[in-house]
């Protein structure tokens, strides 16, 4: 039995009497244009951007303790923990004066006061190893500040400063600052100027400012000094 075929009439509104099939125009084959830049240029740009990023990271890491044109000091390299106080205004800017944690700050210097005792030579080496030197006292204000800040200790009353005589009576500061007689703070009757007492200490029990003794270069406490870091 043959199957029945069903037909339906479909009318399209506004249909044209005859269907027209539009054939798209033949696609033109575009010949590849020559590159206007060398193939290695994107790699060069990427490398430059990477270097810029690295430079920015380094700048952010060293910025807190660096100034224009300065290299990190030995003191900055020796310590990671710092204590900063607001510095005096300079022009329109306001900065901070920083010292290693545990050091005392006075004006533009940082001071380390030891609780152990060493000979003169060992004291010089110890201060140098921390990026500093035995203290060089330049004014009465500095002398009073240091004297009042020295702790009472049962180990000994004397604290080395950076003054020493190569020859009896010829005093020299460790940083080559000229010795100024008018800024010397000897105790009454001092210095003894004897061949066995060529190193100078602050004798803590004596009231400031005049409390320097020349003493034997044996074991004493010490005061180290370094320039403060300004940020």
Q: Where are the domains of the chain?
A: 113-224
**Cβ atoms 129, 112 nearer than 8 A:** no
pLDDT at residue 90 in the model:
55
Give me the pLDDT at residue 114, please: 97
* Residues with pLDDT less than 70, the chain: 1-37, 57-71, 87-94
Q: Using an 8 Å Cβ cutoff, are 135 and 224 in contact? A: yes
- Which residue is it, tokens 């490398």? 47
pLDDT at position 195 is 95
Match 């320097």 to its residue by tokens.
Answer: 212
**Prediction pTM value:** 0.69
pLDDT at residue 121, as a whole number: 97
Do 215 and 200 form a contact (C-beta atoms < 8 A)? yes
The answer to whether 163 and 177 have CB atoms below 8 angstroms apart is no
Output the pLDDT for position 95. 81
pLDDT at 86: 85
Say which CATH class 113-224 falls into. Answer: alpha beta
Per-residue confidence (pLDDT) for residue 48, from 0 to 100: 87
pLDDT at 155: 92
Q: Taking a C-beta distance cutoff of 8 angstroms, is the pair 110, 100 a contact?
A: yes
CA distances from 116 to 75, 157, 170 (A): 20, 12, 28
């Amino acid at each position: 039995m043959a199957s029945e075929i069903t037909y339906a009439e479909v009318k399209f509104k506004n249909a044209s009497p005859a269907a027209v099939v539009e054939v798209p125009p033949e696609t033109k084959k575009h010949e590849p244009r020559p590159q206007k830049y060398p193939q290695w240029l994107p790699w060069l740009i990427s490398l430059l951007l990477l270097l810029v990023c690295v430079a920015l990271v380094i700048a952010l890491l060293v910025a807190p303790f660096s100034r224009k044109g300065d290299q990190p000091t030995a003191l900055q390299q020796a310590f990671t923990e710092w204590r900063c106080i607001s510095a005096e205004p300079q022009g329109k800017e306001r900065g901070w004066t920083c010292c290693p944690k545990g050091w005392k700050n006075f004006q533009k210097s940082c001071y380390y006061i030891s609780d152990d005792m060493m000979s003169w030579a060992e004291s010089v080496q110890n201060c140098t190893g921390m990026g500093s030197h035995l203290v060089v006292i330049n004014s009465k204000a500095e002398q009073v500040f240091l004297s009042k800040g020295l702790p009472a200790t049962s180990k000994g009353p004397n604290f080395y400063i950076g003054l020493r005589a190569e020859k009896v009576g010829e005093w020299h500061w460790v940083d080559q600052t000229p010795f100024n007689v008018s800024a010397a703070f000897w105790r009454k009757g001092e210095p003894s100027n004897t061949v066995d007492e060529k190193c100078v200490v602050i004798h803590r029990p004596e009231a400031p400012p005049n409390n320097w003794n020349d003493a034997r270069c044996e074991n004493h406490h010490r005061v180290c000094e370094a320039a403060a870091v300004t940020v």
